Amino acid sequence: MHHKSILAILISGALLIGCGSSDDDTNTGITQPDSGTPTTPPVSEYNHQVIGLAVYQGALSGATVCADLNQNLACDNDEPFTITDVDGNYQIDWKSEVETPDYYLVANWEAATATQAIQARSLALNIKNPTKRSAPKAIVSNAGKGTLIASPQYNGAINNLTHIKLSRVIEMKNQSLPDSEIDQLSTELDALLAILYQLDAASLYSVSADASAKTSFTRLEYAIAYLQQVIATQIPNLIAAEKILAATYLELWQKISASGLSAEEFFSTDIYTLAANILFSDAAIALGFTELPIDSRILSQNDWDIVLGNIINEKGFTNTLSLTMSADMNAFSIQNADNTKTLSWVAVQPNQALAFEASLDEGNEIITECWNKTDKRWYTEDNGPIIEPTITGNTYNTVYSGTYVPITIDIDKVTNANTSDYWQSVLNMAPEILKLDTLTWPDTLYRLTVTQSADVMCRVVDDYETYELSSFVTEETLSTTIMAEILFKFYFPDNIRIDEENQTIALLDSDGSIEQRFQMTKSSSPSDQLLIEVAEIVEGSAQQYVYPDYFVLDDQQLIKVELNKAMQASTANNVSVTFDNNAGFTQTLYQHLYDQVNPLIFGQ
């Protein structure tokens, strides 16, 4: 065997020499292999498979799911893909030369309607330190194109939680954060999402179709997407939206529930987005994410300094114009810049108008006391309970002096007033005689809505009117005739007509025609005594601006009181706006209005 092996080698070598020889028989050297041409091993292919579930407000049926191999968050033509079944299940199989490829999962679908798009309202945001962050894209675009992304580490799960997580991680990497910080933020985000969605942290991203369709789930989706768009260009913290929502969770859901709207409708309505942004802004400031409100509609400290400086004043609201505009009555009132005079004008249709200019005399201060229903006694401003006012969002909270009756003043900030749709609509409604549209208004106006939650009864200290009654007069026997005799002695009994059934009193002039008519009404006072209201009867909506006389029955006396009724003073036809008088606009406005109504000023 040994000799045969040697022989075989020699024969093989001779054959190689013979095959490589030339015509020169003297060349007996051995040719070596070319060491510069390496041998290429056969190419290996690896099989890859992803099996998962795609859900978004229910199962995603018929969605295109791909392995995004180049990680551009899109499904390119050369990337493996599949179509989800009716339950949102999918399976992708492909081969590659890479054993463990890096890729994302992307799901694309046609949404039922374009209204599913989550967009933040267009706000003129008050940004102190703008960030380089841009607002994220909506999951469903206005064109109705839906896109969800996911990391493959969650066993093929594709849902809005995987979308949030991967979006944040990509942004962290784009900001070149160190791996340790990315890991920390990712862990925090996992914990926050588990709390917000009330899911088990161990299976957080495995969301079922049924769970994704629940109201509690979808409203969080809208809230996070909306808030993220609002704060993205203002707050650099990448998980600020989830932290802010965690801090405002219960209050926000109460507001959504109270609105009676869906989450999508809620976050698409200006009045509700302002309420939500006030919650978010307070939390963002408290968490140290920002120093300024996140929405320019929210009052800053400078705004509050202006507003409170105008409305907390012994002589009434300063630098403030109050307008009443209705079909049969128009009016305004304003104080001059020195708070020494007030100008008022009232026009009752048709063609009946009167203006007044009155001095605000400091020497004739009238001290009043008000009934405190809880303590069952009268209090002046000085000896009553002290309730410190508070500010919540755009609302100033206080109580009526001497009582516990809440008063709130809601402030709507109107920016760019001269081009504002709202303020232009007010100017269009204003009476032509006032020519308010010819003025250049301050850039920022603050509309005031005053709400008093209950009636408050007051009287002048030690100087209120009293009327003695006969001993037989009771709550039941106090008649319209008795009130007429007390209040209208000059007319009683010959020049007066009394209707006991309808509780009306008519005063007659010398020829017997009706000069004035009054309505008497009985009710219960804040002190739970009989309250008598006597109000002149006028035509149309002007009736609501009549100031009645009020009396309470106290033993055998009628005591004249003031009744400040529960109210919401600013409605569509009643507008009060205050403003910064730094440029002297109050005096300009006062003089302008004086010039327009001067011929009507009483006593001139």
Percent of the chain at pLDDT exceeding 90: 68
At which residue do the structure tokens 């114009």 appear?
321
Mean of per-residue pLDDT scores for the chain? 87
Which pLDDT does position 18 carry in this prediction?
38
**CA-CA distance, 307 to 395, in Å (whole number)?**
11
Residues in the chain: 604
The pair of three-digit structure tokens given for residue 75, joined into one six-digit string: 């499904």
pLDDT tens digit sequence for 283-301: 999 999 988 889 888 999 9
Helix%, strand%, coil% for the chain, nearest 5: 30, 25, 40
Which pLDDT does position 28 carry in this prediction?
39
pLDDT at residue 20 tops 80: no
**CA-CA distance, 92 to 94, in Å (whole number)?**
7
**CA-CA distance, 323 to 318, in Å (whole number)?**
14
Range 378-394 average pLDDT: 92
pLDDT at residue 575 tops 50: yes
In the chain, the N- to C-terminal Cα span, in Å, equals: 144
CA distances in angstroms from 371 to 384, 468, 550, listed in the order given: 10, 21, 14
Q: C-alpha dihedral over 596, 599, 600, 602, to 10 degrees?
A: 120
Give just the sign of the alpha carbon dihedral 390, 396, 400, 405: negative
- Residue 27, amino acid: N
Q: Mapped to the 3 state alphabet, what secondary structure does 81-148 carry?
A: EEECCCCCEEEEEEEECCCCCCCEEEEEEECCCHHHCCCCCCCCCCCCCCCCCCCCCCCECCCCEEEE
Which pLDDT does position 554 carry in this prediction?
93
Under a CB-based contact definition with an 8 Å cutoff, are residues 217 and 223 in contact? no
pLDDT tens digit sequence for 47-97: 999 999 999 999 999 999 999 999 999 999 999 999 999 999 999 999 999
- Where does the pLDDT of residue 328 fall: very low under 50, low under 70, confident under 90, or very high at 90 and above? confident
**CA-CA distance, 479 to 502, in Å (whole number)?**
11
**CA-CA distance, 128 to 267, in Å (whole number)?**
24
How would you classify residue 41: left for phi > 0, otherwise alpha for psi between -120 and 50, otherwise beta?
A: beta
Range 476-499 average pLDDT: 93
Comparing CA positions, the residue from 196, 156, 176 lying closest to residue 67 is: 156
